[in-house]
């Protein structure tokens, strides 16, 4: 037993110089150390993630930024919990179609401690919340800017806006051969309904109770099915309202616009453009704010 204890002590002592070297302080950021071990670990992780070799100075700058991100979070009393970090870690594993445990093992095989990735996730989570909260108004994306960006990207493609309209036809029946006075009277009734029509559920129920009024089954039309003029009418009409009355051989017809839904492909394109525009604004604001923090920080390179 004594021999085993002595052997263990010798092994521990032999390991001390290597561990001390690994933990040597390389940079101090507002009193918080960045060690040579931190630099070495981040270099290995970035190589694993991007397959690109970064210089030691690039890694140091990245770690300084991470320290500043965490420190500004602490200044604003923002606490990023271990469970939040673990949740992000598990999300990465899921996107890689593996488990958190397997991801930890995969990192270890490359010589990377899982804590290296988790500390990066912690700084990123803190930074996202700080920038979003501090610069919320300047990060807003206006709908008209998204539309303009979409139009710009679609120039030359002759791509139509993609909507689907759910319409309920409402017909004020007029017998064939009726005099103009009868037709005009029915048009006035139709306009009265249009004025009080607020939504499809209540409005169609009310219309059914009117004299000689037919409510047809709902129909679905896409943008491609309609001419430019009528498409413009439906795009400008509030959902739950009626179109203006038209005289037809059967009587006075209007359509209740019960739903206007962007087609899935166009909705996805809109989301993609909005996300891209937000990312650009976020990066610009993030860069400016980091530069401000760097100017006021105490950074000492050993």
Q: What is the CATH number of the domain that holds 130?
A: 1.10.4030.10
Residue 275 located in a structural domain:
no
User: Do both 172 and 255 map to the same domain?
Assistant: yes
Q: Can you tell me the distance from the alpha carbon of 55 to that of 67, in angstroms, rounded to the nearest whole number?
A: 19
Count how many domains the chain has: 2
Range of the domain at 239: 163-262
Residue by residue, what is the 3-state secondary structure of 231-271?
HHHHHHCCCCCECCCEEECCEEEEEEEEEEEECHHHHHHHH
User: Do both 169 and 226 map to the same domain?
Assistant: yes
Q: Can you tell me the distance from the alpha carbon of 226 to that of 92, in angstroms, rounded to the nearest whole number?
A: 45
User: Do both 63 and 108 map to the same domain?
Assistant: yes
* pLDDT per position as a tens digit, 154-179: 654 545 457 889 999 999 999 988 99
* Tokens standing for residue 179: 């005099």
User: Do both 55 and 134 map to the same domain?
Assistant: yes
Most confident of 1-5, 20-24, 163-167: 163-167
HSE at residue 88, side-chain half, CA atoms within 13 A, is 17
User: Do both 132 and 186 map to the same domain?
Assistant: no
* Tokens standing for residue 224: 């491609």
* Tokens standing for residue 97: 């179609």
Residue 297 located in a structural domain:
no
Instruction: Report the CATH number at residue 229.
Output: 3.10.50.40
Residue with tokens 């700058």: 61
User: Do both 6 and 132 map to the same domain?
Assistant: yes
Cα angle 215, 216, 218 (rounded to 5 degrees) comes to: 120
What integer pLDDT is reported at residue 226 of this predicted model? 79
Does position 266 have pLDDT exceeding 80, yes or no? Answer: no
User: Do both 8 and 127 map to the same domain?
Assistant: yes
User: Do both 134 and 169 map to the same domain?
Assistant: no
Does position 255 have pLDDT exceeding 70, yes or no? Answer: yes
E-state strands within the chain: 25-29, 32-35, 163-173, 213-215, 219-222, 246-248, 251-262, 299-301
Does position 296 have pLDDT exceeding 90, yes or no? Answer: yes
User: Do both 251 and 122 map to the same domain?
Assistant: no
What integer pLDDT is reported at residue 150 of this predicted model? 77
Residue 187 located in a structural domain:
yes
User: Do both 39 and 73 map to the same domain?
Assistant: yes
Q: What is the mean pLDDT of residues 29-34?
A: 96
User: Do both 110 and 215 map to the same domain?
Assistant: no
What integer pLDDT is reported at residue 188 of this predicted model? 95
Q: What DSSP line would sit under 85-110, residue for residue? A: HHHHHHHHHHHTTS-HHHHHHHHHHT
* pLDDT per position as a tens digit, 178-230: 999 999 999 999 999 999 999 999 999 999 999 999 999 999 988 777 777 88
Does position 270 have pLDDT exceeding 90, yes or no? Answer: no
Q: What is the mean pLDDT of residues 104-125?
A: 95
3-state secondary structure of 78: coil
Residue 200 located in a structural domain:
yes
Asked if 245 and 213 count as a contact pair (C-beta separation under 8 A), the reply is no
What integer pLDDT is reported at residue 265 of this predicted model? 54
Residue 153 located in a structural domain:
no
Q: Can you tell me the distance from the alpha carbon of 142 to that of 147, in angstroms, rounded to the nearest whole number?
A: 9
Residues in CB range of 37: below 8 A, 6 or more apart: 22, 23, 24
Does position 19 have pLDDT exceeding 60, yes or no? Answer: no
What integer pLDDT is reported at residue 225 of this predicted model? 76
Q: Can you tell me the distance from the alpha carbon of 41 to that of 113, in angstroms, rounded to the nearest whole number?
A: 7
Residue 284 located in a structural domain:
no
Q: Can you tell me the distance from the alpha carbon of 257 to that of 203, in angstroms, rounded to the nearest whole number?
A: 11
């Amino acid at each position: 037993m004594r021999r085993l204890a002595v052997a263990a002590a010798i092994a521990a002592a032999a390991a001390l110089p290597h561990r001390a070297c690994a933990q040597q302080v390389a940079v101090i950021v507002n009193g918080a150390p960045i060690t040579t071990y931190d630099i070495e670990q981040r270099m290995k992780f970035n190589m694993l993630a991007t397959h690109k070799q970064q210089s030691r100075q690039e890694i140091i700058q990245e770690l300084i930024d991470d320290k500043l991100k965490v420190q500004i979070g602490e200044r604003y009393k923002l606490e990023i919990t271990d469970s939040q970090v673990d949740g992000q870690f598990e999300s990465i594993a899921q996107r890689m179609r593996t488990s958190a445990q397997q991801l930890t093992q995969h990192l270890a095989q490359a010589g990377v401690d899982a804590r290296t990735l988790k500390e990066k996730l912690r700084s990123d989570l803190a930074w996202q919340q700080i920038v979003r909260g501090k610069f919320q108004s300047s990060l807003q994306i206006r709908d008209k800017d998204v539309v303009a960006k979409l139009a710009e990207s679609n120039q030359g493609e002759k791509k139509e806006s993609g909507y689907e309209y759910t319409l309920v036809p409402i017909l004020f029946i007029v017998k064939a051969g009726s005099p103009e006075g009868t037709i005009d009277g029915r048009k006035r009734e139709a306009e009265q309904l249009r004025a009080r029509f607020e939504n499809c559920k209540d409005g169609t129920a009310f219309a059914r109770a009117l004299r000689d009024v037919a409510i047809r089954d709902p129909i679905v039309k896409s943008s491609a099915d309609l001419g430019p003029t009528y498409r413009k009418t439906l795009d400008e009409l509030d959902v739950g309202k009626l179109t203006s009355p038209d005289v037809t051989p059967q009587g006075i017809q209007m359509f209740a616009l019960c739903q206007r839904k962007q087609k899935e492909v166009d909705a996805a394109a809109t989301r993609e453009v909005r996300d891209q525009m937000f990312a650009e604004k976020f990066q610009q604001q993030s860069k400016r704010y980091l530069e401000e923090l760097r100017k006021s920080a105490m950074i000492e390179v050993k």
